[in-house]
């Protein structure tokens, strides 16, 4: 409920002559825990279960490079020129059949805005909707990049409880009412309904219309962030919230996980008034998305069997999810976790008494990396969880990573039990008095 993140210490540049000149919003900007970890976790000897990088090893780059060379030969002067602030009309047309796979059949190219990754889309929607002190309701735990954006616009993020079926409708309604009673402006509900990052859960189909009904009745905008929706392991897709309500939902999706993130191309669909402001905000932020990146994506979509590629991703990630699940059963049976139906992440609850954040340096020494659950909360919660990504490492590496992690957890448990029978107990008794 606070925008300050007590978990991430700011790295202070000493003697910064500008230190009292910054905007207030800059004070709440902190390096994300994931980012701080990046450097060590990417050493080759470390099995990284930390990052959310898609695996690109099966991408047919030889063939792709031919197509892209042709595109540049034939359309170089367009690809290297400034483009439209709303995005390439060809690409805005190309995203329609992709969204149709999740039931969105009424969107027009003019409803679409191309953004520099969905990260930028989240920045733009927050920028046009939220003044400092406004409230965004969101699942907790929450996508760390969204938390960063909300923080940087000085928004109060209010957690809405979720369970294995996703966001709880009653909790959403209560949270809106409670905030309004407290005199706060609730600007939106931010939700990742499919294969949630980091929680791995999917909002049940039954709950979706109920959440929409509450949002309509209470006049709360829904921001539906859906980069993983097509990566369901049983090949199933879920109806997008946007497919049931064109007026109250801003929908975001991205090519980062279904093609690749290196082009930084994503899109959003919004009702007309909001869409118009998003285009202006996009222009103010970046002038226009990269034509070359967009034309790389349209070349890919037009010349490749992108659906077959997504099929391949699905089966590859399913195999990795299975490797993660069986390794956890084998090596960490005392932990609990969900078995996600899609996406990239397993959300692991670690044994009582352990602190995922505190033990991370020891895990890295043991050559395995993860992200501490604390990264995904803005209020200090989460030390009892960790996020294990199965997207990038091979099944063998996943197994090896979990094995190493189990070793670390076992040693931690030994220390804790030692501590428990020693001063630990005294301290505990002390507290109970």
Select the binding partner of residue 77 from a copy of itself, ligand PLP, none (C-beta < 5 to 8 A, by kind): a copy of itself
- For residue 141, give both structure tokens: 């735990």
Phi, psi (deg, nearest 5) at residue 246: -85, -15
Q: Taking the alpha carbons of 355, 361, 364, 369 in that order, is the dihedral positive or negative? A: positive
- For residue 354, give both structure tokens: 């352990």
Cβ–Cβ < 8 Å for 340, 195: yes
Please identify, using beta-carbon distances, which residue of 192 and 211 lies nearer to ligand PLP. 192
The residues in 103-162 that bind ligand PLP, with binding defined as CB under 6 A, are: 117-119, 143, 145
Geometric angle at alpha carbon 343, from 282 and 263, rounded to 5°? 35
Least CB distance to a copy of itself at residue 424 (A): 38
Q: Per rule CB under 6 A, is residue 282 in the interface with ligand PLP?
A: no
The residues in 185-224 that bind ligand PLP, with binding defined as CB under 6 A, are: 192, 197
Least CB distance to a copy of itself at residue 308 (A): 18
| Interacting residues of 320 by C-beta distance below 8 A, sequence separation 6+ | 390, 391, 393, 394, 395, 398
The DSSP line for 21-80 is TS-HHHHT----HHHHHHHHHTSTTSEE----PPP-TT--HHHHHHHHHHHHHHHHHHHT
Q: Taking the alpha carbons of 223, 161, 177, 209 in that order, is the dihedral positive or negative? A: positive
- Kindly tell me which residue out of 33, 102, 139, 225 binds ligand PLP, with binding defined by CB under 6 A: 225
Site string for ligand PLP, 237-276 (x = CB under 6 A): -----------------x-x----x----x----------
Residue 4 DSSP one-character state:
-
Please identify, using beta-carbon distances, which residue of 70 and 329 lies nearer to a copy of itself. 70
Please identify, using beta-carbon distances, which residue of 141 and 145 lies nearer to ligand PLP. 145
Query: Distances from the Cα of 269 to the Cαs of 29, 319, 396, in angstroms?
Result: 28, 32, 39
Reference 226, options 244, 240, 212, 207; nearest CA is 240
The residues in 39-68 that bind ligand PLP, with binding defined as CB under 6 A, are: 52
Least CB distance to a copy of itself at residue 28 (A): 10
How long, in residues, is the chain?
A: 433
Q: Per rule CB under 6 A, is residue 287 in the interface with ligand PLP?
A: yes
Please identify, using beta-carbon distances, which residue of 83 and 193 lies nearer to a copy of itself. 83
Please identify, using beta-carbon distances, which residue of 251 and 331 lies nearer to ligand PLP. 251
Q: Per rule CB under 6 A, is residue 382 in the interface with ligand PLP?
A: no
Q: With CB under 6 A as the rule, give the number of residues binding ligand PLP.
A: 15
Select the binding partner of residue 143 from ligand PLP, a copy of itself, none (C-beta < 5 to 8 A, by kind): ligand PLP
Q: List residues binding ligand PLP (CB under 6 A).
A: 52, 117-119, 143, 145, 192, 197, 225, 227, 254, 256, 261, 266, 287
């Amino acid at each position: 409920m606070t925008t300050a993140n007590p978990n991430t210490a700011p790295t202070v540049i000493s003697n910064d002559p500008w230190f009292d000149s910054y905007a207030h919003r800059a004070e709440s900007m902190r390096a994300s825990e994931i980012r701080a970890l990046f450097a060590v976790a990417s050493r080759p000897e470390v099995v990284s279960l930390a990052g959310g990088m898609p695996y690109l090893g099966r991408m047919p780059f030889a063939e792709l490079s031919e197509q892209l060379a042709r595109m540049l030969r034939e359309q170089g002067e367009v690809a290297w020129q400034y483009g439209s602030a709303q995005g390439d009309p060809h690409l805005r047309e190309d995203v329609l059949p992709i969204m149709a796979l999740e039931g969105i059949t009424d969107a027009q190219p003019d409803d679409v805005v191309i953004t520099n990754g969905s990260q930028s889309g989240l920045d733009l929607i927050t920028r046009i909707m939220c003044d400092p002190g406004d409230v965004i309701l969101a699942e907790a735990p929450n996508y760390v990049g969204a938390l960063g954006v909300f923080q940087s616009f000085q928004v109060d993020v209010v957690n809405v409880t979720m369970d294995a079926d996703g966001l709880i409708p009653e909790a959403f309604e209560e949270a809106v009412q409670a905030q309004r009673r407290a005199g706060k402006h609730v600007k939106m509900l931010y939700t990742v309904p499919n294969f949630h990052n980091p929680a791995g859960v999917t909002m049940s189909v039954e709950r979706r219309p109920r959440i929409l009904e509450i949002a309509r009745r209470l006049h709360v905008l829904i921001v539906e962030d859906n980069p993983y929706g097509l990566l369901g392991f049983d090949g199933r897709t879920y109806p997008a919230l946007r497919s049931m309500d064109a007026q109250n939902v801003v929908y975001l999706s991205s090519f980062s996980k279904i093609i690749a993130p290196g082009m930084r191309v994503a899109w959003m669909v919004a009702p007309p008034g909001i869409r118009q402001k998003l285009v202006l905000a996009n222009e103010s932020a970046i002038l226009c998305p990269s034509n070359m990146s967009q034309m790389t994506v349209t070349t890919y979509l037009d010349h490749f069997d992108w659906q077959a590629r997504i099929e391949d991703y699905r089966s590859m990630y399913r195999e990795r999810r299975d490797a993660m699940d069986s390794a956890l059963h084998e090596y960490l049976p005392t932990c609990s976790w969900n078995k996600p139906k899609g996406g990239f992440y397993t959300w692991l609850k670690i044994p009582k008494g352990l602190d995922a954040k505190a033990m991370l340096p020891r895990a890295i020494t043991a050559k395995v990396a993860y992200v501490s659950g604390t990264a995904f909360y803005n209020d200090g919660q989460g030390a009892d969880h960790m996020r294990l990504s199965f997207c990038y490492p091979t099944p063998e590496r996943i197994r090896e990573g979990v094995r190493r992690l189990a070793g670390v957890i076992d040693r931690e448990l030994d220390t804790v039990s030692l501590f428990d029978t020693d001063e630990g107990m005294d301290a505990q008794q002390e507290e109970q008095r």
